[in-house]
Amino acid sequence: MAKRVVIDPIPRIEGHLRIEVELENGKVKDAWSSGTLFRGFEIILQGRDPRDAWFITQRICGVCPVSHGHTSTMGLENAFNVTPPDNARIVRNLIEGGQFVHSHILWFYHLNALDYVDVVSALQAKPKEKSLQEVQAKVKKFVESGQLGPFANGYWGHPEYKLPPDLNLLAVAHYLEALEMQKEASTIVAQLGGKMPMHMSTPPGGTTFIPTVEVMDNVIWRLSRLQHWVDTVFLPDVLAIAPYYIKYAGIGKGVGNYLSWGVFDDPSFDPKKRLLPRGAIFDGKLAVADVDGKEVKEYVDHSWYTAECGNRSPMEGKTEPKFTKMGDTKYTWLKAPRIKDRPMEVGALSRVLVAYVSGNAKVKSMVDGTLKALGQAGHPEVLLSVLGRIAARVLETKLVIDGMLDWTGELLANLKAGKTQMYALNDVPEKGQGMGLWEAPRGALAHYNVIEGKRLKNYQCVVPTTWNASPRDHKGVRGPIEEALVGTPVLDPDKPLEVLRVVHSFDPCIACAVHIIHPVTNEVKAFRVV
């Protein structure tokens, strides 16, 4: 007999996500992903000066504000017909890279790892190192107090936890170290962007940041420290933990379609030449196809919007909320974006797959080396899984840090050669439209703008989690998270740890996907930003 299990909210993610699964014979038979708060930024931006958008849209998310700012800026530059100077490209890459590294460390250690690391089991370890003894004492204090603090909301003792106590303790110690590494990455963003979150230095046209020797020396020092930690702690942790959960190389494949808009520009500003290039993979076949932001359509058949909002390109998109109730055919505030009428998975796995299949030598070397270390040499198809998403995110961290050190060299070389321009003058056109197609740490991010009378007539955002956590579309086809959950074995319906592992592998950010509702009446309200 089938059994319904509801997790509401999903712990250790950004925002509020409700997951409902139907279990039959110990496996997920069906699944529904529900974002339960309304965003409303598209409404806020209507009628405003377009130059406000890059700053306001950063407020969509406190974890990936840089990506929203950059994507908005790129869309506005597209509408303004302006190209930023090369120095601005480099600074933007560095700011974006700092955010990527921060987000990846945050996700792996503080949001995802506790699905695999049994914190309470660490008390059974017998460490010899003083530092590990001190960590163990802290954990013991938490447990004895009955309040696990940052380690709450775990199914501790679940038989699906496979790590030995000593490895659990080491992972907890690195959990604490990762807090410091997050800070280092965010500090880089603040040094180049003015502050973090909601940086202030990359308006349309370039950057207001003027490099100094002192700042760049400090950035390089922090990058070198991060690089060493990733090489000696982050990557080894993954390779140590993964063999205990190798079955997850065969769980959570999902829809088999992967989208990357590409991120980190080279001097050509060609999306296909980005550090992680633009492209798509369809039907699980490891071949890259071209994609265009104009091919995106959003559907609302199962979302709380008026029918007028559906079957539209975001450039002509509408955001008109119409809440009914949970439990009828509509069950989420997220729309269902599609390309060629296909649901698309987005994120680090999509970016790494597109780069790998496109022939990126460094990515290929990293991926092939990891597959060999896990006993999966010659089988890149195992990446289409929960474990693949984890591996891709970690490898990307290494790729980005190495890239950032290269970009600091580029910037310093430009300055020494007398290339000092940081900004290209521009003005708001009377009429125009533009697309910003970029990547946030969690995946493909697009901002669409329409300008009339030098004001924003329309503004639409299609964010990573709108792709990944989307509901069924007009054809009844599940979104990526919903599809990835189908077939997942669940040992204990009362402790659905395996469901969390699949969902967390996507790193959902519902704060990006949905937002504003009245805290008392639960009604959608109109907001005025001044």
What lies within 8 Å, CB to CB, of 15 at 6+ separation is 35, 37, 508, 509, 510, 511, 512, 513, 514
CA distance 394 to 505: 12
529 band by pLDDT with thresholds 50, 70 and 90: very low
DSSP 479: P
Report, as an integer, the average pLDDT of 204-221. Answer: 94
CA distance 263 to 96: 9
Report, as an integer, the average pLDDT of 31-51. Answer: 91
Query: For position 153, what pLDDT does the model report?
Result: 64
**All structural domains of the chain with their residue ranges:** 3-145+161-513
Number of Cβ within 10 Å of residue 329's Cβ equals 10
CA 216 to chain centre: 27
Question: Which SS3 state, helix, strand or coil, does residue 101 take?
Answer: helix
Residue 527 pLDDT > 90: no
Residue that wins the pLDDT comparison between 476 and 154: 476
The tens digit of pLDDT for each residue in 339-382 reads 999 999 999 999 999 999 999 999 999 999 999 998 999 999 99
Query: For position 510, what pLDDT does the model report?
Result: 84
What are 91's two structure tokens?
Answer: 């600074």
Nearest to 497 by CA among 23, 213, 230, 156: 156
3-145+161-513: which CATH architecture?
Orthogonal Bundle (1.10)
102 band by pLDDT with thresholds 50, 70 and 90: very high
Q: What number of residues does the chain have?
A: 530
525 band by pLDDT with thresholds 50, 70 and 90: very low
% of the chain residues with pLDDT over 90: 85
Nearest to 267 by CA among 411, 364, 402: 411
Handedness of CA 368, 374, 377, 381 (dihedral sign): negative
Report, as an integer, the average pLDDT of 189-196. Answer: 95
CA distance 117 to 245: 11
CA distance 472 to 522: 25
Q: Which residues pair with 206 in a beta bridge?
A: 423
Residue 62 pLDDT > 90: no
The tens digit of pLDDT for each residue in 286-300 reads 899 999 999 999 999
